[in-house]
Amino acid sequence: MDTLNKLRWRCRRGTLELDLLLVDYLDKYYPAASVAEQQAFLQLLALEDAALQAYLLGDAAPGDETSASVVRKIRR
């Protein structure tokens, strides 16, 4: 299984909305992203669903700029 397929599996979350947002970012932005941005995305995937949802719905913001940039791209 290649890396993108493994990540696509990790994008499966507790809600369809999160799944769709994460897979959309993976398809549109991840392949061309910098290593730092890819690492930030992986850190976001490691979060609990509630924390990730708070970021993606705008109820909270990540503390570092790279993660915040990834969140903004996901929310587009």
36: which 2 tokens? Answer: 């730092």
Amino acid present at 21: L
The H-assigned helical ranges of 1-76 are: 3-10, 16-28, 35-45, 49-57, 65-75
Q: Are the C-beta atoms of residues 44 and 71 closer than 8 Å to each other?
A: yes
Asked whether the CA dihedral 31, 51, 64, 69 is positive or negative, the reply is positive
The CATH number of 3-75 is: 1.10.150.250
Answer whether residue 70 shows pLDDT above 80: yes
pLDDT digits (tens, 9 = 90+) for 21-55: 999 999 999 999 999 999 999 999 999 999 999 99
pTM: 0.91
Q: Are the C-beta atoms of residues 8 and 26 closer than 8 Å to each other?
A: yes
